[in-house]
Amino acid sequence: MALRVIMMGPPGAGKGTQGARLARERGLVRISTGEILRDAIREESATGERVKAVIGRGELVDDDTMIGIVRERLAAPDAKQGFLLDGFPRTVPQAEALDRMMAEDGGGPLLVLDVRVPFQELVRRLGTRRVCEMCGTNADPFGPLTTVCGHCGGRLSQRTDDNRDVVSERLKVYEQQTFPLVEYYKSRPTFRVVNGNQPPEQVAFEMNTLLEDAAVVGAQVGRARLS
Ligand code: AP5
Ligand code: MG
């Protein structure tokens, strides 16, 4: 059965890092709404122009825009083979819209991975993160200090929303608008909490184990629905 994964967690939890690996290993389409928006800003599209200031302030882009973006992306044929959502849903209306899309589409239940990391560690990670201006890849935080991307040779710099004031706003917005989603999902049998405050390989190991387990339970739920 095609896996449908949501990677939840605060800014800096490691959603991008782990999401890219998991999607690659499992053959899933990774849909990072933050990356889609940053691409739109880089391309100076109408959406990009509209969301630039909102992202710069660390606030959330409006639900209608985000739901429209994800609805369109999930309708593409490659997403039918399984997907991993990174950064969506981020509000209860987004989660409700996603449930409606899933119901229309049939298929198995959503597997929800909620990555937890203490506040101070999030602040540390975001304050030190360097990202490639060309391909958007994070520099290896454990690698040698460099200004050049190891993947494409592009220049590494700080993400515009990683300065101290904006980070503080993003974390506040997460607590107020996104953390309530834990309540929304936590009673589902396919919801799992991941300890993101460990070395990346250990996070990956824990995530794989929890995902396998959630997928088995998800398949049982899917069969029960059909019978
Ligand atoms: P988005 O791009 O989604 O940003 P975010 O959620 O704030 O998360 P980050 O990308 O900052 O962190 P991450 O969890 O991916 O961590 P990473 O792997 O990079 O969204 C940006 C903006 O777009 C939002 O603020 C909002 O304005 C808008 N937006 C997007 N989606 C939206 C939606 N659905 N609705 C409304 N608005 C939306 O890791 C962070 C750092 O830590 C890296 O340096 C990494 O190398 C390092 N690291 C990772 N894992 C570890 C580890 N285990 N140990 C040590 N360091 C680690
Ligand atoms: Mg990210």
Which CA distances in Å does 199 have to 2, 18, 32, 203, 221? 29, 11, 22, 6, 33
Q: What is the pLDDT of residue 159?
A: 95
Q: What is the pLDDT of residue 108?
A: 84
Q: What is the pLDDT of residue 222?
A: 78
Which CA distances in Å does 152 have to 12, 21, 149, 220? 23, 18, 6, 43
Mean pLDDT of 156-170: 96
Q: What percentage of the chain has pLDDT greater than the value 70?
A: 100
Residues with beta carbon inside 6 Å of ligand 1? 9, 11-17, 33-34, 37, 54-55, 58-61, 66, 87-88, 90, 94, 125, 129, 138, 141, 161, 170, 199-200, 203
Q: What is the pLDDT of residue 76?
A: 96
pLDDT of 197 strictly over 80? yes
Question: Before 89, cis peptide (omega within 30)?
Answer: yes
d(CA 61, CA 55): 7
pLDDT tens-digit map of 18-49 = 999 999 999 999 999 999 999 999 999 999 99
CA of 97 to the centre of ligand 1 (A): 22
CB count in 10 Å sphere of residue 50: 15
DSSP readout, 96-134?
HHHHHHHHHH-SPPPEEEEEE--HHHHHHHHHH--EETT
Q: What are phi and psi of 175, to 5 degrees?
A: -60, -45
Which residues have a Cβ under 8 Å from the Cβ of 167 and sit 6 or more positions away?
A: 11, 12, 58, 123, 126, 127, 161
Q: What is the pLDDT of residue 12?
A: 98
pLDDT confidence bin for 105, thresholds 50/70/90: confident
Ligand 1 pocket test, pick from 51, 91, 125 with the greatest ligand atom count within 8 Å of Cβ, gives 125
Q: What is the pLDDT of residue 227?
A: 75
CA of 223 to the centre of ligand 1 (A): 34
Q: What is the pLDDT of residue 221?
A: 84
Q: What is the pLDDT of residue 167?
A: 98
Nearest ligand to the C-alpha atom of residue 131:
1
d(CA 60, CA 55): 7
Mean pLDDT of 131-153: 92
What pTM was computed for the model? 0.96
